[in-house]
């Protein structure tokens, strides 16, 4: 799916989907934000996102991902009063990376299933040996195969995703394979962001599922403990796995994000002379 643009008011929200995912996984949140009056943009980022026919060679360095999102923020700032950022999984890590460089250009952050550690209960036991392949030809042959529950607790949606996976290479919630170069670049991005968290002062909302199958609440706790923002909140969800934008708690994800973004806008207005 190509870039999603939902025109609304003077305040913009840029949503960043997950690694080798696509804008579709952010659609429920995008539509709710737009209904609340925001102009919402969910780009597909080449070298980071997924398109049918992509190969491992299409993955670009994480610095390129960072620049693509940074450029989108700059473009939106030209036509909107404020720009807020939301991201899912590695998209949340990218949002943090961009906030570290953007300063006040980013009004607020909504970090969804932030992945700083791949330590969820569905991660395979051999995950720790993957770095061996980062610098060998093995990186072009191995890919992590998606498997149930695909980050989804909702059984009906999960069954639909499984049917989709049997016929396609991707679905609303996941790609069937995550290539090793992408995982490697994500790890490098995570390392860089951890070092810069104390410098990020952007108002930040962290939303995470207690049963996240990809990354445990440890990642959310790390952000809350190390980010430099004085205005930070954490919301834990009790009825979803990793893909919280489409799972059982998707309405709460949208409501909490809208509430937080609205509150930051109100504070900005009240602080004006």
DSSP per position, the chain: ---EEE--SSEEEEEE--TT--GGGGHHHHHHHHHTT-EEEE---TTTS--TT--GGG---HHHHHHHHHHHHHHHHHHSSEEEEEEETHHHHHHHHHHHHHGGGS--EEEES--S----TTS-GGGGGGGGGTTSGGGGT-EEEP-TTTT---HHHHHHHHHHHTTSSB-SS-BSEEEHHHHHHHHHHHHHHHHHGGG--S-EEEEEETT-SSS-THHHHHHHHH---SSEEEEEESS--S-TTTSTTHHHHHHHHHHHHHHHHHHHHHT--
Write the pLDDT tens digit of every residue in 64-107: 999 999 999 999 999 999 999 999 999 999 999 999 999 889 99
Report pTM. 0.89
**Domain at 186, CATH number:** 3.40.50.1820
How many domains in the chain?
A: 1
State which residues form the domain around 193.
Answer: 4-270
Write the pLDDT tens digit of every residue in 120-166: 888 764 454 455 545 555 455 455 556 678 889 999 988 888 777 66
């Amino acid at each position: 799916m190509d870039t999603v643009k939902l025109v609304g008011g003077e305040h913009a929200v840029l949503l960043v989907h997950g690694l080798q995912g696509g804008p579709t996984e952010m659609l429920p949140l995008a539509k709710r934000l737009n209904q609340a009056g925001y102009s919402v943009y969910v780009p597909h980022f080449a070298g980071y996102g997924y398109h049918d026919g992509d190969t491992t060679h299409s993955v670009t360095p994480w610095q390129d991902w960072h620049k693509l999102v940074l450029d989108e923020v700059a473009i939106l700032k030209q036509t909107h009063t404020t720009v807020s950022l939301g991201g899912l999984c590695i998209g949340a890590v990218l949002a943090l990376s961009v906030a570290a460089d953007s300063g006040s250009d980013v009004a607020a952050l909504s970090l969804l299933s932030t992945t700083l550690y791949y330590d969820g209960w569905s991660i395979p036991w051999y995950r720790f040996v993957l770095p061996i392949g980062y610098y060998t030809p093995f990186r072009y042959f191995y890919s992590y195969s998606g498997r149930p529950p695909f980050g989804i607790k909702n059984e009906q949606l999960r069954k639909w995703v499984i049917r989709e996976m049997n016929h396609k290479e991707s679905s609303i919630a996941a790609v069937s394979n995550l290539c090793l170069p992408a995982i490697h670049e994500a790890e490098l991005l995570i390392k860089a962001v951890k070092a810069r968290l104390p410098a990020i002062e952007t108002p930040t909302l962290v939303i995470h599922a207690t049963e996240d199958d990809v990354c445990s609440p440890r990642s959310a706790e790390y952000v809350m403990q190390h980010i430099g923002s004085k205005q930070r909140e954490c919301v834990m969800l009790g009825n979803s796995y990793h893909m919280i934008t489409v799972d059982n708690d998707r309405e709460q994800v949208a409501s909490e994000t809208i509430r937080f973004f609205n509150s930051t806008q109100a504070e900005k207005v009240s602080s004006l002379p």
